Amino acid sequence: MTLKKPYIVAGPCSVESRQQLETIVKQLSALEEVSLIRCGVWKPRTRPGGFEGLGVTALQWMAELRQQLPCKVAFACEVARPEHVDAALHYGIDTVWVGARTTANPFLVQELSEALRGWEGTVLIKNAPSPDVQLWMGAIERFHQAGIKNLIAVHRGFDLYQNDGYRNSPLWEIPIELRRSMPDLPILCDPSHIAGKREPIAKLSQTAMDLGFDGLMIEVHPDPDNALTDAAQQITTDALHLLLQTLTIRSTDSGTLDEQLQLLRSQIDSLDDQLLHILAARSDKAMQIAQVKAQGNMAVFQPGRWDSLLHQRMAAADELGLDKDFVKALFEKIHSESVRIQTEAIKN
């Protein structure tokens, strides 16, 4: 499918009241960059007891607003059950999205694709929380097989056992792999759910543009601090406007060497960012080890452990085709930093 680029989807995490919906829809429909307004109406909550969305009531308000507003607005909502699909279609929704937790469940994806069979609207498919490109591709294929022509993937980051400062780690290599496997499929980035807080959203959006994503899905709320869901990561319409104005859009047709170089460099930047986060997590572990060693009155430097570690790392490096001398020198540096950190820690 061909999209206006960058394709910008913006709107609240959840519809909370008619007033909140009207305010945000009026604000966002005045921004020409915004193509689609996202409105969560059924909210998947990790634990029970929180705000679970207004369901059909919100869909009704959206349908009424669509009639009342002078300009045409397109709406998207999340669907997680076939009954949601029926209601969303009944109220004339333009686009539906499949949330991360649903993508993880092929039975549900199959049911949703059956409920949507032959629909001419657009389906956005978020990646599953686990870093598994196959699961993401499988969901896309199920909708494709149900005759849905307008499919768009949404990268919302991955839930790792040890997240690196983000709510959901970006692991950019996964959407890059999706692009390689399905080159005609548009991919949006959802920096709001990757970040979990406001500050990194602009930088993540730029990285997505540098990597050739087709657009962004960003959570926007008239009063983010008081939002009923995802308050920390929602931004105001003014902040969105500023973000979009400062975004550098890159061409992806890699016509010139310069553009190819730019794309490769931003991929290197993203990998370096991951390397630094991994080093920070490793230093953290070294501190914890120092405490355990101090409790057992053990020496910081344990030659047996260091020899076997170096041996294992060099063998693993060799399998990956990395130069052994380079990897040896790198781990000697990393190890001596770990010894320094532990020595400092036991002094304090």
Pick from 230, 237, 240, 300 the residue near Mn ion by CB under 5 A.
230
Q: Measured between alpha carbons, how far is 69 from 63 in angstroms, rounded to an integer?
A: 10
Closest CB 13 distance from Mn ion, rounded Å: 3
Residue 36 interacting partner from ligand PEP, Mn ion, none (CB closer than 5 to 8 Å by kind) = none
Those residues whose C-beta lies under 8 Å from the C-beta of residue 145, and which sit 6 or more positions away, are 113
According to CB under 6 A, which residues from 172 to 211 bind ligand PEP?
Answer: 193
126 binds ligand PEP (CB under 6 A): yes
80 binds ligand PEP (CB under 6 A): no
Count Cβ atoms below 10 Å from residue 300 Cβ, excluding itself. Answer: 18
155 binds ligand PEP (CB under 6 A): no
Three-class DSSP category at 55: coil
Contact 124, 76 (CB under 8 A): yes
Whether omega for the bond prior to residue 44 falls within 30 degrees of 0, making it cis, is: no
Contact 100, 126 (CB under 8 A): yes
222 binds ligand PEP (CB under 6 A): no
Q: Which two tokens stand for residue 5?
A: 């680029």
Q: How many residues bind ligand PEP (CB under 6 A)?
A: 8
Those residues whose C-beta lies under 8 Å from the C-beta of residue 124, and which sit 6 or more positions away, are 9, 76, 95, 96, 97, 98, 152, 153, 154, 188, 217
Pick from 28, 100, 133, 211 the residue near ligand PEP by CB under 6 A.
100
Q: Which helix (H) or strand (E) holds 125?
A: strand 122-126
Closest CB 48 distance from ligand PEP, rounded Å: 16
Q: How many residues bind Mn ion (CB under 5 A)?
A: 2
Pick from 8, 9, 10, 13 the residue near ligand PEP by CB under 6 A.
13
Contact 39, 74 (CB under 8 A): no
33 binds Mn ion (CB under 5 A): no
Residue 156 interacting partner from ligand PEP, Mn ion, none (CB closer than 5 to 8 Å by kind) = ligand PEP
50 binds ligand PEP (CB under 6 A): no
Closest CB 198 distance from ligand PEP, rounded Å: 15
Task: Give the interface with Mn ion as residue ranges (CB under 5 A).
Answer: 13, 230
Task: Give the interface with ligand PEP as residue ranges (CB under 6 A).
Answer: 13, 40, 44, 99-100, 126, 156, 193
